[in-house]
């Protein structure tokens, strides 16, 4: 009988590759290069002529001014936004453009922020809306190839992670922004920015792969595979792990003895270092593989827990934990409130299915009743939902 942890070596029959995916892959191979520091430089994979893009400056300007007015109502958020953008520029991930190429096909990307108070590192993140349409009703994302999904399926990645005696996790720091965009394509990544309302509104260009563009996930993950393929002969263990143990920027892997884990970690770090991809936030159920900074962040009160692909992982006991903590209590029960609460639980392995299935059945019945999003649900569903909440509250 074949052991579970050997499944990754089985010669699976690959899924059919679509023509667009094949074009995207050929484009990456033909246009990708590395600079003198090893940093990977990619081109945008256009599926249609970028000349189809219309004017985008005015809509980007209107959205910037509206966002600026909203931020002015919250000085703390405004300060965090400015700090984020100043770091973006300081790291060279964006730069001012003295003479924008407005007589050529180009694109201005609107931007706004999202807040994540629970994040230990970045409470505010600026996101870029490359789906905003221009005057031709076409956006940048409309013209870009998305590319195939080449990382390991989430279910298999988490399942395999549970099979090792010693597990290890890490993150690639600012992964998308570690991949440079070819200078010829940066005119499609223009943005408008100023730190203060009384300053001039200037054009900047984003110099790296940008979160919010359709091709960004593929370009970032494919860059890791590019490095793995290039250094496979020198670092076979690390290269195999890079190609099979990443979910975008999250690394989950392990080994059954400490010597193998040391070699795995060293090879993965060295391969990614050669492409300017720094790894941080190392966690493990073995103390020798925890970075000093990570150890300082832990305390006895948090019971040595961290996140492994969105699931709470207790490193001391090497177990997954689940808890149900709805953000707010809703006075009325509607399709919107039920869905917002039911979607809080992230369970890629389906171990909570006996509990979560009830909420899914309730949602299915609401769809069949064709209720509006904010319409109060019938009494029998209200009672069923209260029973479901009671069971979820005892989840831990």
How far apart, in Å, do the first and last CA atoms of the chain sit? 35
- How far is Cα 111 from Cα 196, in angstroms, rounded to an integer? 16
Class of domain 42-148+175-217: alpha beta
* Residue limits of CATH 3.10.10 in the chain: 42-148+175-217
- How far is Cα 251 from Cα 268, in angstroms, rounded to an integer? 10
Residue whose tokens read 């300017």: 276
Please report how the helices 335-342 and 353-369 are oriented relative to each other, as an axis angle in degrees rounded to 10: 160
Query: Which token pair is 379?
Result: 């009494």
Q: Are 169 and 252 in contact (CB under 8 A)?
A: yes
Helices (H), 274-342: 292-297, 335-342
- How far is Cα 83 from Cα 124, in angstroms, rounded to an integer? 10
pLDDT at position 135 is 96
CA 121 vs. chain centroid, Å, equals 14
- How far is Cα 108 from Cα 56, in angstroms, rounded to an integer? 5
- How far is Cα 134 from Cα 55, in angstroms, rounded to an integer? 5
pLDDT at position 251 is 94
- How far is Cα 378 from Cα 333, in angstroms, rounded to an integer? 9
Please spell the DSSP secondary structure of 149-183, one letter per residue. --SPPHHHHHHHHTT-SEEEEEEETTTGGGSEEPG
Q: Are 154 and 245 in contact (CB under 8 A)?
A: no
pLDDT at position 115 is 87
DSSP annotation of 90 reads: H
Could you tell me the CA-to-CA distances from 373 to 156, 339, 384 in Å, in that order? 35, 10, 18
CA 75, 95, 129, 105 dihedral sign is positive
DSSP annotation of 125 reads: E
- How far is Cα 389 from Cα 383, in angstroms, rounded to an integer? 10
CA atoms within 13 A on the CB side of 97: 22
pLDDT at position 18 is 86
Query: Which token pair is 196?
Result: 């203060």
pLDDT at position 304 is 65
One digit per residue, pLDDT tens: the chain, 396 residues? Answer: 333 334 344 443 445 678 999 999 999 999 999 999 999 999 999 999 999 999 999 999 999 999 999 999 999 999 999 999 999 999 999 999 999 999 999 999 999 999 876 665 668 999 999 999 999 999 999 999 999 988 888 889 888 888 899 999 999 999 999 999 999 999 999 999 999 999 999 999 999 999 999 999 999 999 999 999 999 999 999 999 999 999 989 999 999 999 999 999 999 999 999 999 999 999 998 878 776 555 444 443 455 677 776 788 888 888 888 877 766 566 788 888 888 888 877 888 888 888 888 888 998 998 998 888 888 889 999 999 888 888 887 777
Q: Where are the beta strands (DSSP E) in the chain?
A: 33-34, 40-42, 94-96, 111-115, 124-128, 166-172, 180-181, 190-193, 202-206, 246-247, 250-255, 279-284, 305-308, 311-314, 319-321
322: alpha, beta or left, given left = phi > 0 and alpha = psi -120 to 50?
beta
pLDDT at position 17 is 76
Query: Which token pair is 194?
Result: 């100023």
């Amino acid at each position: 009988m074949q052991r579970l942890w050997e499944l990754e070596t089985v010669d699976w029959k690959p899924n059919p590759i679509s023509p667009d995916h094949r074009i995207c892959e050929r484009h990456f191979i033909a246009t990708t290069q590395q600079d003198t520091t090893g940093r990977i430089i990619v081109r945008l994979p256009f599926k249609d002529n970028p000349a189809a893009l219309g004017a985008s400056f005015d809509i980007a300007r209107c959205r910037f001014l509206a966002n600026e007015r909203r931020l002015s109502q919250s000085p703390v958020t405004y300060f965090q936004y400015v700090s984020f953008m100043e770091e973006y520029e300081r790291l060279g991930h964006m730069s001012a453009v003295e003479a924008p190429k407005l007589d050529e096909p180009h694109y201005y990307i609107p931007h706004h922020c999202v807040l994540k108070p629970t994040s230990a590192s970045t409470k505010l993140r600026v996101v870029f809306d490359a789906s905003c349409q221009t005057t031709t009703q076409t956006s940048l994302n409309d013209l870009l190839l998305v590319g195939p999904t080449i990382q390991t399926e989430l279910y298999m990645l988490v399942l395999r992670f549970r099979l090792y005696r010693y597990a290890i996790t890490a993150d690639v720091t600012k992964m998308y922004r570690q991949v440079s965009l070819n200078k010829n394509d940066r005119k499609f990544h223009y943005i408008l920015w100023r730190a203060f309302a009384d300053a001039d509104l200037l054009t900047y260009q984003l110099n790296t792969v940008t979160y919010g563009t359709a091709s960004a996930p593929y370009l970032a993950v494919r860059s890791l595979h590019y490095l793995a393929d290039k250094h496979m002969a020198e670092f076979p263990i690390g290269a195999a792990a890079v190609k099979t143990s990443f979910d975008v920027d999250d690394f989950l892997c392990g080994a059954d003895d400490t010597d193998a884990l040391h070699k795995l970690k060293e090879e993965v770090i060295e391969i990614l270092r050669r492409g300017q991809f720094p790894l941080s936030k190392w966690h493990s159920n073995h103390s020798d593989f925890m970075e000093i900074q990570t150890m300082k962040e832990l305390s006895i009160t948090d019971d040595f827990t961290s996140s492994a692909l969105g699931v709470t992982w207790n490193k001391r006991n090497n177990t997954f934990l689940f808890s149900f903590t709805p953000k707010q209590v809703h006075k009325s029960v509607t399709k919107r409130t039920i869905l917002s609460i039911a979607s809080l639980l992230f369970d890629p392995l389906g171990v909570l299915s006996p509990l979560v299935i009830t909420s899914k059945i309730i949602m299915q019945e609401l769809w069949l009743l064709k209720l509006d999003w904010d319409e109060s649900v019938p009494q029998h569903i209200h009672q069923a939902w209260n029973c479901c909440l009671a069971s979820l509250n005892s989840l831990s």
